[in-house]
Amino acid sequence: MAKLVTKFKFLKPGARQGRGGYAKYIATRDGVEKIDDTKKFAPATWNQKQLIKKILRDFPDSREMLEYEDYQQKQTVESASEFISRAIEDNAAVALNAKTYADYIATRPRAERFGSHGLFTDDGVQVNLSEVSRELNEYGGNVWTAIISLRRENAERLGFDNGSRWRDMLRTQTQALSENLRIPMGHLKWFAAFHNESHHPHVHLIAYSTVESEGYLTKQGVQKLRSSFAKDIFTQDLLCIYEKQTEHRNRLRSESRDVLAEIVSQINAGGYSNPHLEELLLQLARRLSRTKGKKVYGYLKTDVKAIVDSIVDELAKDNRISALYDLWYEQRENVLRTYNSSLPERVPLSQNKEFKMIKNAIIQAAMDLVLDSQQEQGVAEDDTDNKHKPLSTVGTANIGMNALRLLQQTSQILQNDVRPVYQDKRVDRKLRRKINEKKQAQGFRQ
């Protein structure tokens, strides 16, 4: 399961709210949570199990919660109580009757308060709970909510076991909220409250626009917000990952140079060949010599693109290219695991849109095989023209050298892309110095 668990929802204006059974449970919640040390280890009660079944039926996404994972592993009174309380809290806007979401998350037990209640927002902005509650009740647009949760051990290790740290973090995320909710910064309003739960400290976030017609959150926006939160919360962990990535990249570059030098030596001695790759290159060269327009992948016909894709697939069979591509994926998956429970399926190198550069390098290599006599004509004949001059025989050594260059270029493209996913090239020297000082203070080598 992901280290950072997030849940995004939106509340429509005028939506029907109620679920009397849940409201009754919340009304008695204080007594339920005050279980002594002996009772909490007892098996979950029949009533708890029945309520959990109802929760899972009414709110199926509750199965993704960390508390439910804990309950499945050990079905005790304590784990059941933790899950029930958290599931009802996460769905408070639907589960509770005559209570606004903002009011609930600010005043419920364990909400860490900075004054008379637990709500906070931008620095220097006073929060009047009654006014916020009234405004949300009267608001005619959509309101977005997010719940961001950590395990206790991660929260303590990273310093996110107190409300001040969460508040400071969220105040740095207003630009990300504005961009991904598609709400202009000047129109964005947000409030949050931190709940210092025993097992899974978390924060509730509410966001909306002062203009009721504004705001829209896509699946891509959700992923970008998760990524932004994770980057901030797990900064130190990600720095460690990036250092390991750099070590892998340097090692692979060194090994790649040795391997390529060996291949060059084999070619010079006539001991290296890939007949299938060479035939595909020659086939592509023939097609390109009869094609009008730009000789780049995006402008080619479907059948010509298929030849290029086949060449990429052939290159990907090389152990060195395969190792680099695996490392490229491993690095991205290491970061994705921070905030995603499941990883997207890996795609072949030929289908990866991030490596179109390889395809254009293949096209250039094929064009290099076209005879000087055709290049001198300066006219690219149409694909359907039957009067073209056929591509003459090209020396095996020339095709082999082009195949080698392709292998080298593909390797270099992959090496260049094996770098920190979140590396921001625009980071100024002052910020970079602060990051290095922090790393040094925590014992990391520069």
Of 130-144, 264-278, 304-318, the poorest mean pLDDT is in 264-278
Question: Is residue 284 a contact partner of residue 362, using CB atoms and an 8 Å limit?
Answer: yes
Of 174-183, 268-277, 288-297, 390-399, the poorest mean pLDDT is in 390-399
Question: Is residue 415 a contact partner of residue 249, using CB atoms and an 8 Å limit?
Answer: yes
- Name beta bridge partners: 204: 147, 193
Question: Is residue 410 a contact partner of residue 321, using CB atoms and an 8 Å limit?
Answer: yes
How far is residue 429's CA from residue 432's CA, in Å, rounded to a whole number? Answer: 5
Res 442 pLDDT > 60: no
Res 339 pLDDT > 70: no
pLDDT at 145: 84
Q: What percent of the chain has pLDDT over 70?
A: 59
Res 170 pLDDT > 70: yes
pLDDT at 8: 62
Q: Give the residue, 191 or 188, on which the prediction is more confident.
A: 188
pLDDT at 22: 32
Res 188 pLDDT > 90: yes
Q: Give the residue, 126 or 381, on which the prediction is more confident.
A: 126
Q: 3-class DSSP state for residue 393?
A: coil
Res 91 pLDDT > 80: no
Cα within 13 Å of Cα(111), Cβ side: 21
Residues with Cβ < 8 Å from 342, sequence gap 6 or more? none
Q: Which among 189, 369, 346 is positioned nearest to 285, based on CA atoms?
A: 369
Of 31-45, 180-194, 214-228, 332-346, the poorest mean pLDDT is in 31-45
pLDDT at 433: 61
Instruction: Tell me what the mean pLDDT of segment 317-322 comes to.
Output: 79
pLDDT at 353: 84
Res 63 pLDDT > 70: yes
Of 19-23, 64-68, 236-240, 414-418, the poorest mean pLDDT is in 19-23
User: For the segment 33-46, what is each residue's pLDDT rounded down to a tens digit?
Assistant: 222 243 566 788 88
Question: Is residue 68 a contact partner of residue 19, using CB atoms and an 8 Å limit?
Answer: no
Q: How confident is the model at residue 446 (pLDDT cuts 50, 70, 90)?
A: very low
Instruction: Tell me what the mean pLDDT of segment 322-326 comes to.
Output: 79
Res 274 pLDDT > 70: yes
Residues with Cβ < 8 Å from 273, sequence gap 6 or more? 396, 400
pLDDT at 387: 43
Of 166-170, 282-286, 329-333, 426-430, the poorest mean pLDDT is in 426-430
pLDDT at 356: 83
pLDDT at 184: 94
- Name beta bridge partners: 391: none
Residue 351: exposed, middle, or buried by beta-carbon count in 10 A (0-12, 13-18, 19+)? exposed
Of 115-124, 144-153, 387-396, the poorest mean pLDDT is in 387-396
Q: How confident is the model at residue 305 (pLDDT cuts 50, 70, 90)?
A: very high
User: For the segment 212-233, what is each residue's pLDDT rounded down to a tens digit?
Assistant: 899 999 989 998 898 888 887 7
Of 158-162, 179-183, 291-295, 376-380, the poorest mean pLDDT is in 376-380
Taking the CA atoms of residue 157, residue 163, residue 169 and residue 175 in that order, the dihedral angle to the nearest 10 degrees is 150
Res 440 pLDDT > 70: no
pLDDT at 96: 54
| Mean pLDDT for the chain overall | 71
pTM: 0.46
How far is residue 141's CA from residue 11's CA, in Å, rounded to a whole number? Answer: 9
Strongest mean pLDDT among 225-239, 257-271, 342-356, 372-386? 342-356
Residue 217: exposed, middle, or buried by beta-carbon count in 10 A (0-12, 13-18, 19+)? buried
How far is residue 94's CA from residue 88's CA, in Å, rounded to a whole number? Answer: 9
Q: Give the residue, 13 or 269, on which the prediction is more confident.
A: 13
Q: How confident is the model at residue 236 (pLDDT cuts 50, 70, 90)?
A: low
Q: Which residue type, as a one-letter code, is found at position 239?
A: L
